[in-house]
Structure 1
Amino acid sequence: MDVGKMQNLLKGIKQVREGSTDSEKFLAGEKANQKGLKEYKNNNYGNAFRLFLTSAENGYPWGMYNVGTAYRDGEGTTQDMEKAFYWIKKAAQNDIVDAMFEIGLMYYHADGTEQDLVQAFAWCKKAAENDHINAMCWVGSFYEDGEGVIQDFSKALEWYEKSAEGGNENAAFHAAYLYDKGAAGVQPDRYKSFFWYKKAAMAGHTTAMNNLGMVYLTGNGAKIDLVYAAEWFIKAYAKADNDKSKKVYIDNFDATLKKADEDEREKIAKIMINKLGIKGAEDLMNKLESSASTDSDGCFITTAVCDSFGKPDDCYELSVFRSFRDNWLSCQPNGKKLIEEYYSIAPQIVEKINLLPNSKEIYHSIWKQYLKKCLLYIEQERFSKCMNIYVDMVRTLKEKYIGVYIKKIPD
């Protein structure tokens, strides 16, 4: 036999044997991973870790992912983020979609590696393209913020909607907000904004609950319905996990009650008791009364501005503005109407600004452009001048952060 042919034959035999060995190792890895999962379910984390490590070392992708998450969480072994990164990335490179998303987050948060936003975006996008719902939301966020990729609001919206259609409530909220506010390449659409706010709210997104309440309160995307508005503010209040958020929802609920008639108030009272229980409903009403007794309500924008400077609720500036409202503005021929309109629109303006990353700078600008002058005029007892500036401020902020109201949905 020709020497060359003999060498090729021997090489082929070797490859077959190696392939057989790799196949056997893979099967051994699969069995080790299955045993590891059983141990894990029985809370035997040490045994599970050892089996996952055996599985990973035998080249089984899910074993790689499971041992990586064990290192990440410190389950059955000492937490080691660098080893977690190593094994999860190997799993991602072996087509484990969950690992693709996980490694994207590790690059983003600098867990076990240096931060690399380009890699973070690339891995999350790869997971998203393999139908990972949460990764789709992250890809939308990368495009919206211009992190790791050129900013593109239309692509952000596309990925948010894909994720939201898969049930991601955060994606539904972000899609709603982009349609609500509009951006380069995204035309404002109050009806689509309402649709996604409702989806997010029904899935349990607290801020979406509040924003949906604002839609029903203002008619900005749906027919005005004060009962529905109050119901969503109550739901947001019940789910909120911090006092600052609860205060916003209480203020919005209060603004709704001020506009409701007797029949609507009766329906709202039933909803309060149904959602919060008798004691919970009493607590909410007590907070409303407490807020009213300290005059902390009704200064939404001014309160937010003062808060941005770290000033307390009883600071000099807020006390002056509240005195102006109660002792002069409310006594003017159109004063009460202006106050009612302010109660309706101001919480929505604050809510919009609070969602922006530069909210503090915005509030400082509002102080410099409007409120500082208003305070000076009040101190000089030039109250009409203050009123004119304040009205202009609300009008300008409404146009900038809320936009022109669209036509209401017909009955």
Structure 2
Amino acid sequence: MSFQLRREEVLDASGLAAMLEESPARAAQAILLAAGEGEVEAQALLGQILLDGHGIAQDQPLALRWFGIAAGRGHLMARNMLGRCHEHGWGCTADATIAAQHYRIATDAGLDWAMYNFANLLATGRGVAVDHLQALALYRRAAELGHAKSMNLLGRYLEEGQVCPADPVAARDWYRRSAEGGDFRGQFSFAAVLADEGRIDEAVIWLEKALAGGNLNFLRVASEALSSATDPRIQALASRYQLRTDELSSNA
């Protein structure tokens, strides 16, 4: 089947995003056309749909190539995705050192996602030397730009007082902002704070949100953490977390 696409349909980024939801195959054709015509946003998006296999056959090496093309033309998210590919071995041999180089370039240009990813490497010593001070600074920069996942990790540093003075009030606020921003780990962190304050009903609401959005690795850890809860409302949620963990594990 061929598709007849208008020029404005090919180049309208918001239209492509809507089309990806409604008709992934049609959107893939539009993205292919726009990428071939040199539209850098389409080139980056083509890399993403090739990586995900969304509307097009999954091809990680080709995704890596298109990310490289878009990154070479200054597209920051494509540069960040090059880092992700090299970090996780998507379409290439995993190499955290190369990933860190890409993240650093996009970080220096001001991309919040790159700050978060680079900070994760600094916090764990993958591809770079461990540097919690720099990781904390990057999480803070990204959080102040509105990055929800960074908000949660900034809250963790502040709660634990790691390489900074402990500040539970500020930590609570960052957890709340992360939760409201949609990060499932932030939702879990904020729920823990609320539970400690005795606000169990509110904690349960956020735990349910985290359950709905959490991935397998998160659910495994969260399920274990909730297993020791004494409140029956949280005990019931712990069982649901375990059921969801088992479901995702069986489908992995």
Using the size of structure 2 for normalisation, the TM-score is 0.70
Q: CA–CA distance in 1 between the matches of 2:132 and 2:171?
A: 15
Match of 1:169 in 2: 148
What SS does the aligned partner of 2:48 have?
helix
In 1, are the aligned partners of 2:16 and 2:31 still within 8 Å (CA)?
Answer: no
Distance (whole Å) between structure 2 residues aligned to residue 155 and residue 49 of structure 1: 39
Following superposition, the deviation at residue 81 of structure 1 comes to 0.9
Aligned length: 220
* Conserved 8 A contact 1:36-1:51: no
Give the aligned partner of residue 171 of structure 2: 193
CA distance in 1 between counterparts of 2:235 and 2:56 reads 51
Structure 1 residues 36 and 203 mapped into 2: Cα distance closer, same or farther (>3 Å)? closer
Residue 167 of structure 1 aligns to a residue in which SS?
coil
* Aligned residue in 1 for 2:11: 34
Name 1:400's counterpart in structure 2: none
Task: Describe the shift of the 1:231–1:107 C-alpha distance in structure 2 as closer, same or farther (beyond 3 A).
Answer: same
Does 2:161 correspond to 1:212?
no
Residue of structure 1 in register with 2:249 after alignment: none
Structure 2 unaligned spans of 5+: 1-6, 212-218, 240-252
Q: Structure 2: which amino acid aligns with 1:68?
A: G
- Do the aligned partners of 1:39 and 1:47 also contact (CA within 8 Å) in 2? no
Matches within 5 A, 1:387-406: none
1:364-411, CA deviations, whole angstroms, 9 ceiling, x for partnerless residues? xxxxxxxxxxxxxxxxxxxxxxxxxxxxxxxxxxxxxxxxxxxxxxxx
Following the alignment from structure 1 to structure 2, what is the Cα–Cα distance between the partners of residues 83 and 126? 22
Match of 1:117 among 96, 105, 116: 96
Selected match of 2:66 from 78, 82, 87: 87
CA distance in 1, matches of 2:210, 2:26: 40
CA deviation after TM superposition for structure 1 residue 96, in Å: 0.9
Instruction: Report the AA paired with residue 235 of structure 1.
Output: I
Q: Which residue of 2 aligns with 1:70?
A: 49
Q: What is aligned with 2:160?
A: 181
* Distance change >3 Å, CA 79–CA 73, structure 1 → 2: same
5+ residue gaps, structure 1, are 1-29, 218-224, 255-282, 292-411
How has the CA–CA distance of structure 1 residues 55 and 212 changed in structure 2, closer, same or farther, with 3 Å as cutoff?
same
Indicate conservation of the 8 Å contact 1:32/1:52, yes or no. Answer: no
Matched, 1:235 2:205: yes
Question: Which residue in 2 is equivalent to 1:126?
Answer: 105
Which residue is equivalent to 1:53? 32
Farther-moved stretch of structure 1 (61-70 vs 150-159) = 61-70
Taking structure 1 as reference, are residues 32 and 90 closer, same or farther at Cα in structure 2, changes over 3 Å only? farther
Are residues 240 and 247 of structure 1, via their aligned partners in 2, closer, same or farther at CA, if it must alter by over 3 Å? farther
CA deviation after TM superposition for structure 1 residue 110, in Å = 0.6
**How many percent of aligned residue pairs carry the same amino acid?**
20
Aligned to 2:87: 108
Q: Give the distance between the partners of 2:85 and 2:152, measured in 1 at CA.
A: 24
Q: CA RMSD in A?
A: 3.4
Q: Give the counterpart letter for 2:167 in structure 1.
A: D
How far, CA to CA, are the matches of 2:106 and 2:135 in structure 1?
16
> Does structure 2 conserve the Cα–Cα contact (< 8 Å) formed by 1:36 and 1:48?
no
- Within 5 Å, give how 1:297-376 maps onto structure 2: none
Aligned 8 A contact 1:213 1:232 in 2? yes
Per-residue CA deviations over 1:288-310 (Å, capped at 9, x if unaligned) read 9xx9xxxxxxxxxxxxxxxxxxx
User: Measured at CA, do residues 52 and 144 of structure 1 come closer, stay the same or move farther in structure 2, by a change above 3 Å?
Assistant: same
Q: Is the 8 A contact 1:240 1:246 kept in 2?
A: no
Matched position secondary structure for 2:38 = coil
C-alpha distance 197-119 of structure 1, shift in aligned 2 (>3 A): same
Alignment match, 1:284: 233
Q: Is the 8 A contact 1:136 1:160 kept in 2?
A: yes
1:258-269 correspondence runs (5 A):
none
Q: 2:188 touches 2:206 (CA, 8 Å); kept in 1?
A: yes
Question: Aligned pair in 2 of structure 1 residues 114, 31: CA closer, same or farther (>3 Å)?
Answer: farther
Distance 1:143 1:244, change over 3 A: closer
CA contact (8 A) 1:137 1:160 kept: yes
